[in-house]
Structures are given as C-alpha cells and as structure tokens.
Structure 1
Amino acid sequence: MTASTETLPVVVIGAGPIGLAAAARLIERRIEPLVLEAGPAAGSAVRDWSHVRLFSTWSEVVDPAAEKLLAPTGWIKPDGDTYPSGGEWADRYLQPLADVLGERVRYDATVTGVSRAGRDRIVDADREAQPFVVHLTGADGSEARIFARAVIDASGTWSTPSPAGAAGLHALGERAASDRISYRVPDLKDPAVRARYAGKRTAVIGAGASAFTALAYLADLAKTENGSGTHATWILRRGISGSTFGGGAADQLPARGALGLAAKAAVDDGYADAVTGFRTDVFEKTGDGRLVLVGEDGRRLDPVDEVIVLTGFRPDLTFLAELRLALDERLQAPVELAPLIDPNQHSCGTVYPHGATELAHPEKDVYLAGMKSYGRAPTFLAMTGYEQVRSIAAALAGDHEAAARVELTLPETGVCGGAGLFDQPEPAEETGGGCCATPATLTIGAPASSGGC
C-alpha cells in the first residue's frame, strides 16, 4: 500500500450496529472511516423489525468504543438489565451514534461493487498497492465511486432471506404465491397485519428463534376475542426431540429460553400442530386462493390461508465478485471462521471469540463482519460482532498483538444449534435465522422476534 493510499478512509458498508461499532473502533485507532448505508437512516434493517424485542440486554448490545463517543454528548445509557426492541435500539443508540459520526456516515448509498482500482480479480501485478474502489448508487439513481484503503462489509443478511424450498431454492409455486407468504415474523400490533392472520390457518416453516416467536404470537392471537379460529401448522424438516424447544430455564439468555417454552406451550395447548420430517417442494393454490404445501415425499398438507417462511438468511455476495474471498463452500463464511460457527457443532455460547485472523481473506484488508461474516450460519450475537470489529481495527492499525487478543466472554448456552441438538444434522437455514433477537415478554402488545442480533 502506498503512502497516498494510507490517507484514504476505510469504507464500512452498513450503518447497523456492527458497522457503526466498526467506525467507532477505527476512530479510536485514529483511522478515518466512511460508512455507507443503503437506507435513509442508521439501522435501517433493524428498523424493519422495530417490533422485535431482543433477548440480549442493553448491556450486551452497546459497543464500548461507541459508548465513549456518545458519552460527551450527554447521551444517557439505557438500563443495562432491560431488553430493547429493535426500534428502541435504533432510536436510542444507533441513530445517536450515527449523528455523532456526522459526515462520516452517508445515507441512501447502495454499494453495487467493490474491487481494486484498475485490477479485476484476475490481475496479480502490483495488486496490494492499489486502493479499493467502491461503486455506489444514490436514491435518485446517481452513480459515484469512492477510493478506500480497506473495506469492512457489515451489511448483514437481512435483505436476503432463505426460501421455503428444502433444496435451498424456491419451491415450485413459491414465487407465484408471494401474496400469501411472508419471510418475516409478523408485527401483530399493526391492525392490518393482525387482521391478515386473525381467524386464519397459517403454516410456519422453520425451527429457530423466529419460528418459536411466530408460533407464540399466533397462539396469543388465538386467545383474544377477535382471534378465535387462529391456528398454526408448524412445519419442521426434522423430528421433535427433547431439545427442539431449546434450553428453557437452563439457557443463560433467559428471554430466549422463555421463548422456546412459549412455543412448546403453543403446541401443547393445541394452538399449533407440528408436521415433522416435511421438506417443502411445491406450493399449490386452491380454487379459493388458499395454499396447499406438498412435500418431497408426496405428502399434501391441509390448505392454509397464509405461510410464514422463517428458514434463515444468506449473504449477498454479488457486489464483492471482483474481490478474492476465501469462503467456506457450505456456510459461505470465511474459511478460517466456518469451523468455529458450524451450526451442526456450535451454539451462540460455544462459538470461540474470534477476530481479524479468522476473518481475513486472500484479498488483503477486506473483511466481512457481523452477521455477514457468518454466511448462512444462524448463531450470531451482537457481542461477537463488536469483538470482530475491535480486532479488525487493531489489525488495520498494525497492532497485531491487540488484534489477536480475546476481549470477550460469551454466555454459555447449548440451545442455538449443534449436532447434539438435532436428531440429525440440518442445514443452517433450518434453524431460522439467528440467536440474538427474541422477545423478553410474549404478549400481543410486546414486540415480536427476529434473527441476527
């Protein structure tokens, strides 16, 4: 890298919790960041699930370096023992942090490509001496490019939910039935959304935290005056065992344990029926517009009015196509990280804290961070992302001792995934998209859950 390249900013893609924490850590290291956010505000993806209540407390979702930037502004840290909703996280922490960063955050800036200046992925000559070039489009369609000394992609996976098809592809008829399918946990506080599911039969596909939440919320809806007749069909690719509903009281994240118990109660109390060993192959529409799900084994389920697909998320790697990334062929995570986060072996609490070494690629000074770094693995916690960017910033500053140091202790738990938790190994998308955001309380008036926080 030339002296002129070193004066360029580090481009951070995404003004979510991990991207903004990366900017704070870079500033701490006296490295200039430039955060590019596709949405109109900080935490735009988080705001999409503003009704979600995390099962991590405030003390676990505020980055220490970010807190140092906020403190001189008079910012008041929320009670560390309480659980924020997605909306509260965005409004009370992410947006104030972005405001402190000021012009270092650029909104309505969608990254469309990243490469080395004058070098596509084929060219070796003098490659590392070239700065990165980042192409972006604005909300008005205007195009621009920015040169950078390094790139941290913290754009997450929220925009690319996995489909219902068991093969990892859309099931036949899935796209044509899109008006009856949602890939998000519904916000039942919204009257229009509530009316969509009240008194209806809904299929819930998935077996992770988000699916648990959908089951619990639909059960709560069924208990209300206007929710009579609401019923869920819970579709699992595996069977039900003693560990299906998580760790319960043994979970060191208590709100997550309570969620699994609430989902179990929905089944036990008759508000949901479980269909096991079912791998969705086809969506068929009936004459009245309802949907019949057909499995790979030919089984046909009873018609439902709505389908909620909660089969996890996957990374969008298209705009990184000209970079030399080393990604695991299964998880689409960095090859050194993949064995540490394999959902067949690990849960949130058994993932060893990691940093720049595990996140490095053949393309020097490019890092995937946050949920994006986990590829298709679902067991991500915000604390893990904060540790990642602390290490990355240290590495970019040349402090390799600090980059290698572990400064994080995760809560131990065995409920997110792992070979011991399944009747048989399952793909990451079966677990439903993340281990860090679930409701602290389970009532219709409380936020619903989602994955990846």
Structure 2
Amino acid sequence: IDAAARALLDRSGWTAPDSQGLPTGGEIVRDYLAPLGRLPAIAANLKLGAEVTAITRQGHDKVANDGRKDAPFVIRYRDTGGEHRVLARAAIDASGTWWRPNPIGVDGLPVVGEGEASARIAYGIPDVVGKAREDYAGKRILVIGGGHSAINVALALMELQDAAPGTEIFWALRHASIERLLGGGLNDQLPERGALGLAARQAMADGRLNMLAPFAVNGIERQGEGLVVDANLGGKPFNLAIDRIVVTTGFRPDLSFLSEIRIALDHAVEAPPALAPLIDPNYHSCGTVPAHGIAELAHPEPGFTIVGSKSYGRAPTFLMATGYEQVRSVVADIAGDHAAAREVRLVLPETGVCSAVGVVTVSASAGCCGGPAPAPVDACC
C-alpha cells in the first residue's frame, strides 16, 4: 500500500487489510482502491467510465515549437455523456497495459486463424475455478506463455483438475530453458512469487502438466467445437487438438492517443530511453531493477510523464512498489520539489534467479494431438 494513500485512508477510519495476506486483484480493488476512491478529496476529482482519446498541447500540434512549453495540455475523453476536453498544467499517463495483451505469434503478430478462434481464446488470467469454470472443466486446455501469469493459470487449472479429473493441461513455452520462469524459489525476496515457481516445478515433477517446449504456433483452425493448433515443437511440425487456449504472452502499451505528444521511447522495449536499459528482458535475467523516478521517466514534452506498468513498455518485470515510487517522484517534480523528486526512497527485492544452480530444461518430443509425455524435471531448489 502506497504510503501517501495509507495516510489519507488512515485519517478516514479505514480498516487496513492483513499486511501479510496475498490479495487477488478483486480484493485490492475492494479493500484498497475503492475506499481510496471514495475519499471526498479524491472522489470530487475522479471520473469513472471515461476513456481518454487524445492528449495534445492547446493550439499546438506535434511539430509546433513557438510557445509550446507554456501551452496547457488538452485532454480529450469520452464517457456516456459524450466527448469532453479539459485543460491541465501537467499530464500523467498511468493507463497501464492490461487492455493490450500480446497475441500468440512469436513474431509479435496474431497467428493465422487467431481472430476467427477468439471465442475460444482468453488473454491474461481468466477465472478458471470461478466465473469461467464451465468453459474449462473437463476440457483440453493449452496455456501459452512463460511468466508468472502462466504459472497462475496452470496452477488454477490444476485446482480445477482436482474437481474435474477430465481436465487436461498443456503448457507451451517459447524456450526450452525455463529457469527464469520458475523463479528464484527460496532465494526470492518476494516469498509468494518464489512459491509460484516452486509450485510449478513440483507440478512438472508430478507429471500433471504436459509441457511443450520450445513451442511456436503457426496457425489455428476451428474443428467442430474445438480447435487444432498447427505448431512447431522442438523445430518439428506438431499438431494439437484442444478445446480452449489461454494466452499469457505479456502486454504492450497503447500509444495511439499520444500521437500529438512528443515522447521518446526505446526502439525495442518501448520504455523511456533512460529506463529501458534497466529493464530490458534481453539482458536482465534476474529482473532486478533499481528504484527510479522523474530522471528516468522524463520525455521531450515538459510536464508529460508515463508511469506504472505502461512506463515499462513491453518489459514484464513491473512491481506495484515501483509505480508508487515513480508517482511520488513525478508529483514532487510537478510540485517544484526537485530535490525530493530525485531522491531514492525504495529498495526493490532480488528475485534470486541469477544465482540459480542447474538450468531446468524441457525436452521436446514429436507427437500429434495427444501431446508428448511429461518431461523429466530437476526439482532441486
């Protein structure tokens, strides 16, 4: 919980949730964000159900220079009442990336047939043991992805499998080496994140997950009430008949409404150039990122900043605590307290992955719709 938010909530008589608990997204909204949003000082300035469609400088397109830095920002948004515009001295984009999931293709594009099969494809973390239970119970499910979201989905499907034994789980990874996926285990300074990796490792050892790696989808065809996935497994052609697909391949930022704002982004990660080298997953296997603020988040447009998970672009290592520190620094800068803006008030946890001994490898085997046998796994931690 952010320190400034806690101070506001405490003054209202709020009852804090268990500090040792591991809340779901819904619980974070119910116990933290909703009470925060109801505080009079915030509620009076909060517009819900609104979509920002554009941000620009008043009287200036992207090219215009004269008087630009003194012109207020124009924020255009749409809600049930129509289109609106407001003026602001500064603009902070904290819109996240949740509504822009990456597609299935390893080349960053949707695979052939992905759109046509969308009714049987979920992106992110569906509630497979709750609201979406009937879609998954007793079905053959393909989970695509190599991060903590994929682990969450696989473990939730295993919980469903306990109640519906006919449920089959296939887990497809782009790479054969999965040590980064499993995490630092007992060495992870975020214990529950480490526990996810340990639980996934045990599930592989128990043979409850049909692991497919290295795996790349070429196309998807609808077949009756199910789907046939045309893929390569270990470099060889591979077909898999399944009922549903869960895609957990990450997210990307929506930059469409920033077309008239001068922003600078790394050509690969799509994060600010000063931040990108600190978070680029091509080079940072352990995911450890130093605390950062306005200095790393600045754009060529004075007064405009992207914070939160969107500031990380396509990098997957964002933590809520990182966002809190970003916002503290950015707001201090807007308020004119530049010394406070450049202070570092956060120490981020290590993942423990960098020091892992023995890389876990999933071996590929050719097959058809039945999938390969579970691969042996080194379960040591």
> TM-score normalized by structure 2?
0.89
Query: Do residues 125 (structure 1) and 66 (structure 2) align?
Result: yes
Provide the residue aligned with 2:338 in structure 1.
400
Deviates more, 1:117-126 or 1:244-253: 244-253
Residues in 1 aligned to 2:80 and 2:221: alpha-carbon distance in whole angstroms: 37
TM superposition shift of 1:200: 1.2
CA distance in 2, matches of 1:300, 1:163: 20
Shift of 1:417: 12
Instruction: Name the SS for the 1:281 alignment partner.
Output: strand
Partner of 1:222: 161
Partner of residue 31, structure 2: 92
Is the contact between residue 157 and residue 313 of structure 1 (CA under 8 Å) also seen in structure 2? Answer: yes
| 2:307–2:327 CA contact under 8 A, matched in 1 | yes
Q: CA deviation at 1:262?
A: 1.7
CA distance in 1, matches of 2:199, 2:283: 25
Residue 302 of structure 1: CA displacement?
2.1
Whether the 8 Å contact between 1:347 and 1:417 is mirrored in structure 2 is: no
Take 2:317 and 2:360, find their aligned partners in 1: how far apart are those partners? 15
2:240 maps to 1:302 = yes
**Counterparts of 2:340 and 2:282, CA distance in 1:** 31
Aligned equivalent of 2:374: none
Is the 8 Å Cα contact of residues 281 and 287 (structure 2) preserved in structure 1?
Answer: no
Aligned partner of residue 192 in structure 2, secondary structure:
helix
Give the drift of 1:266: 2.4
Paired residues for 1:267-282 under 5 Å: 267-282=204-219
Cα deviation, residue 229, structure 1: 1.9
Deviates more, 1:228-237 or 1:239-248: 239-248
How many residues are treated as equivalent by the alignment? Answer: 357
For residue 49 of structure 2, the aligned residue among 108, 117, 121 is: 108
CA separation of 1:416 and 1:326: change in aligned 2, threshold 3 A: farther
Aligned partner of 2:326 in structure 1 is: 388
Q: Is the 8 A contact 2:172 2:213 kept in 1?
A: yes
Q: Give 1:24-423 correspondences, 5 Å limit.
A: 62-100=1-39, 101-140=42-81, 142-190=82-130, 193-224=132-163, 227-295=164-232, 299-346=237-284, 350-415=288-353
TM superposition shift of 1:76 = 1.8
Tell me the secondary structure at the aligned position of residue 175 of structure 1: coil
- Cα distance in 2, alignment partners of residues 139 and 147 from structure 1: 20
Q: Do 1:346 and 1:416's aligned partners in 2 also have CA atoms closer than 8 Å?
A: no
SS in 2 for 1:303: strand
Conserved in 2, the CA contact under 8 Å of 1:112 and 1:136? yes
The change in CA–CA distance for 1:341 and 1:243 in structure 2 (over 3 A counts) is closer
1:231 Cα deviation after fit? 1.2
**Cα deviation 1:88-130 (Å, max 9, x = unaligned):** 2111111111111121111122100000001010111111010
Q: After superposition, what is the alpha-carbon deviation per residue over 1:269-310, rounded to whole angstroms, capped at 9, x for unaligned?
A: 222111112222211223453222323956222211111100
Distance 1:421 1:164, change over 3 A: farther
**1:197–1:189 distance in 2 versus 1, CA, 3 Å:** closer
Whole-Å separation in 1 of the counterparts to 2:282 and 2:359: 8
Shift of 1:202: 0.8
Q: Report deviation, 1:379.
A: 0.3
Is the contact made by 2:183 and 2:197 (CA closer than 8 Å) also made in structure 1? yes
Output one character per residue of 1:174-211: Cα deviation in whole Å (capped at 9) or x when no partner: 00000111002221332x52121111111110010011
RMSD: 2.2
* Distance in 2 (alpha carbons) for counterparts of 1:265 and 1:118: 60
The 8 Å contact of residues 265 and 272 in structure 2, kept in 1 or not, is answered as: yes
